[in-house]
């Protein structure tokens, strides 16, 4: 199905609006004009009838009417479109001007003083019938006044014809003007369309200026510019992510190829082959973990992670992880401390993994002989778990990017060793957000802390 363009639609609506307004105005003017002419005709007939009644009321008998004929002719003959007939009670014509004017019989003896109409031989007439009595005779006379309004009919026919001609011309002109106005008004929208059409991966930095844009379209342009900014940021992240994946996978693949090529250069004993296979197995395990982490993040991005809803006590989770990291902490002389309690509804395996990732990072960057403090706080609305460790301060510009995949702050905090692919914090953020919580990092005065906050939910 083919749809009209927005310019054509607006032009059509503008034309229809003009037609509707002109039609209503024309019909109203036509009705008011007809009513006005009718009132003028009625006024003319009434005035002539009153004057005729006054002249006839001064006569004594039917015979005296001949004496007032000059007055009647002067009164009624001066109007060339007016005809007058005076009838006796028995229907005898006492006065007629003009002489050959015929009136339908049904209008000769109407007594309601109303105005009547009829058409004959292409002419239209309006008339009034009224009874009149002389001074001495009780018998009533009947006065008929007829006004030829054919000119009025011709006037309205001409007016109506020119009205429809004018309406057609106005419709065409309004359609053209509507198209011009709509096209001019939609010029900023076409500019937005052109920019959107020219968008590519290399032109996401372009923005549409707001200055020449009308107020009605500024919100649209602002939203479009914001969308471009989000797309630009997402594309940069995706490009970096792809580059990081290639970088992370290249190292173990290079190790596998190198070890295998070296082993295949000559015949070796069984122990050499086993040593090479074990080395290859480590690289394969690292790649497997990386692929698993990437699959987990892909599921998180598509909303496919649905945590179980069981009551979990954070102090128990931390105590269990302390037992797991106890030997590693003792080797480095690091003390693990936990304070507070709090429970949430969630998935135990996921929350174990999130807390474990943060503890692993804290152990990696905490100097020997220092302490890692885990604080659990519970309020009416939320439960907060904070893991705080001493170490090098992270600059503020890096704090919001710590949870990006494969993000590296600097060589001092680089997560590029074979046991860590740099996806731990990204996975932790996905777990927290899947539990409708939030995570953030603060760093200052030689202390870094990661905070996880979860809303309180009734079981």
CATH architecture of structural domain 215-301 = Orthogonal Bundle (1.10)
Cα angle for residues 436, 439, 445 (degrees, 5° grid):
165
- The pLDDT of residue 418 is 46
- The pLDDT of residue 139 is 58
- The pLDDT of residue 385 is 94
Tell me which CATH homologous superfamily contains domain 6-170: PAS domain (3.30.450.20)
Cβ atoms < 10 Å from Cβ of 304 = 10
Residue 413 DSSP symbol: G
Cα angle for residues 366, 368, 373 (degrees, 5° grid):
50
Task: Give me the tens of pLDDT residue by residue for the chain, a chain 459 residues long.
Answer: 567 777 888 888 888 898 999 899 988 988 998 888 888 888 888 888 888 777 777 776 666 666 777 777 777 766 677 888 888 777 777 777 776 667 777 777 666 667 888 888 888 888 888 887 766 666 577 888 888 888 888 888 898 899 899 889 988 998 888 888 888 877 777 777 776 677 666 667 777 777 767 777 778 778 888 888 888 877 776 776 666 666 667 767 777 787 777 777 878 788 877 877 877 787 787 777 767 766 766 666 666 666 778 888 999 999 999 988 888 888 889 999 999 999 988 888 888 888 988 998 899 889 988 999 999 999 888 999 999 999 888 888 888 778 776 666 654 444 444 455 567 788 888 888 888 899 999 998 889 999 999 998 765
CATH architecture of structural domain 310-455 = 2-Layer Sandwich (3.30)
**Bond into 98 cis (ω within 30):** yes
- The pLDDT of residue 280 is 78
Residue 265, CB-side half-sphere exposure with 13 Å CA sphere:
7
Cβ atoms < 10 Å from Cβ of 52 = 23
CA distance 409 to 365: 13
- The pLDDT of residue 454 is 92
Residue 394 DSSP symbol: P
**pLDDT per residue over 2-58, tens digit each?**
677 778 888 888 888 989 998 999 889 889 988 888 888 888 888 888 887 777 777
| Sheet strands (E) in 231-342 | 310-313, 335-339
Task: Indicate the domain borders of the chain.
Answer: 6-170, 215-301, 310-455
Name the residue among 178, 179, 170, 156 with its Cα closest to residue 23.
170
CA distance 328 to 323: 10
Cα 221 to Cα 199, 231, 235, 243: the distances in Å are 15, 15, 21, 33
Cα 440 to Cα 27, 358, 389, 428, 437: the distances in Å are 72, 12, 15, 11, 11
Q: At what angle do helices 424-434 and 270-301 cross, to 10 degrees?
A: 40
Name the residue among 201, 248, 196 with its Cα closest to residue 220.
196
Cβ atoms < 10 Å from Cβ of 336 = 21
Name the residue among 426, 415, 409, 419 with its Cα closest to residue 295.
426
Tokens of 313: 């006590």
pTM: 0.48
């Amino acid at each position: 199905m083919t749809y009209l363009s927005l310019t054509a639609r607006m032009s059509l609506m503008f034309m229809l609006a003009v037609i509707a307004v002109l039609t209503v105005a024309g019909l109203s003017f036509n009705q008011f004009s007809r009513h006005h002419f009718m009132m003028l005709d009625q006024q003319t007939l009434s005035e002539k009838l009153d004057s005729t009644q006054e002249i006839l009321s001064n006569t004594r008998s039917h015979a005296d009417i001949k004496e007032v004929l000059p007055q009647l002719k002067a009164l009624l003959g001066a109007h060339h479109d007016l005809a007058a007939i005076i009838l006796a009670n028995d229907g005898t014509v006492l006065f007629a001007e003009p002489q050959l004017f015929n009136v339908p019989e049904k209008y000769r003896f109407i007594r309601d003083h109303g105005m009547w109409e009829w058409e004959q031989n292409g002419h239209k007439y309006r008339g009034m019938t009224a009874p009149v009595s002389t001074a001495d005779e009780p018998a009533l006379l009947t006065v008929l006044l007829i006004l030829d309004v054919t000119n009025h009919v011709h006037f309205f026919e001409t007016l109506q014809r020119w009205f429809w001609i004018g309406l057609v011309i106005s419709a065409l002109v309004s359609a053209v003007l509507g198209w011009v106005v709509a096209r001019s008004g939609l010029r900023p929208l076409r500019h937005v369309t052109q920019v959107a059409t020219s968008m590519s991966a290399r032109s996401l930095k372009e923005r549409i200026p707001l200055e020449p844009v009308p107020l009605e379209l500024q919100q649209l342009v602002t939203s479009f510019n914001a969308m471009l900014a989000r797309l630009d940021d997402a594309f940069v992240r995706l490009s970096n992510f792809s580059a990081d994946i290639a970088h992370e996978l290249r190292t173990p693949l290079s190790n596998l190829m190198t070890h295998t090529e070296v082993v295949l250069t000559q015949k070796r004993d069984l122990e050499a082959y086993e040593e090479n296979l074990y080395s290859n197995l480590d690289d394969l395990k690292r790649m497997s973990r990386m692929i698993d982490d990437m699959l987990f993040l892909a599921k998180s991005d598509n909303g496919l992670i649905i945590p179980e809803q069981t009551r979990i006590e954070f102090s128990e989770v931390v105590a269990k992880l302390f037992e797991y990291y106890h030997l590693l902490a003792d080797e480095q002389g690091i003390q693990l401390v936990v304070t507070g309690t709090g429970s949430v509804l969630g998935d135990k395996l996921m929350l174990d993994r999130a807390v474990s990732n943060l503890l692993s990072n804290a152990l990696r960057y905490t100097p020997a002989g220092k302490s890692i403090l885990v604080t659990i706080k519970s309020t009416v609305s939320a439960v907060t778990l904070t893991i705080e460790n001493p170490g090098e301060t992270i600059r503020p510009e890096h704090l919001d990017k710590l949870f990006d995949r494969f993000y590296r702050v600097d060589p001092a905090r680089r997560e590029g060793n074979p046991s860590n692919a740099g996806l731990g914090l990204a996975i932790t953020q996905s777990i927290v957000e899947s539990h409708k919580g939030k995570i953030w990092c603060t760093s200052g005065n030689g202390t870094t802390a990661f905070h996880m906050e979860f809303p309180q939910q009734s079981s």
